[in-house]
Amino acid sequence: MGGYLANQQKGKTMNDKKIIEVLEMIAKDQADDAKKFEGAPFTGRTVAEYFGNQGAAIAALANIIKSLVESRPTPLAPDTATPSEAGESS
């Protein structure tokens, strides 16, 4: 499992280069995991390890999305967002 969570700057927005680097690490780790766990016995240990890897990848993706939102030049306040920007259907 890659160290993409450790490579993220806690509490700081990531620049584009860093975001791309972390995304590439996540993609490689997921491909490596698919190979590593293929044919592995279905035990509590392998399931826990696989789920742990998935959880780390999800957390890293969530941090990237958070960084992108925080780096917007003018964040939208919930009361000023259009319905489509707020995720509402019209």
The structure's pTM equals: 0.63
Q: Between the CA atoms of 6, 10, 46 and 1, what dihedral angle is there, to the nearest 10 degrees?
A: -30
| Residue 4 contacts residue 22 (beta carbons within 8 Å) | yes
Mean pLDDT, rounded, for 21-48: 93
State the pLDDT at residue 10: 54
pLDDT tier, 43 (very low <50, low <70, confident <90, very high otherwise):
very high
Better-scored residue on pLDDT, 5 or 45? 45
Percent of the chain with pLDDT strictly greater than 90: 47
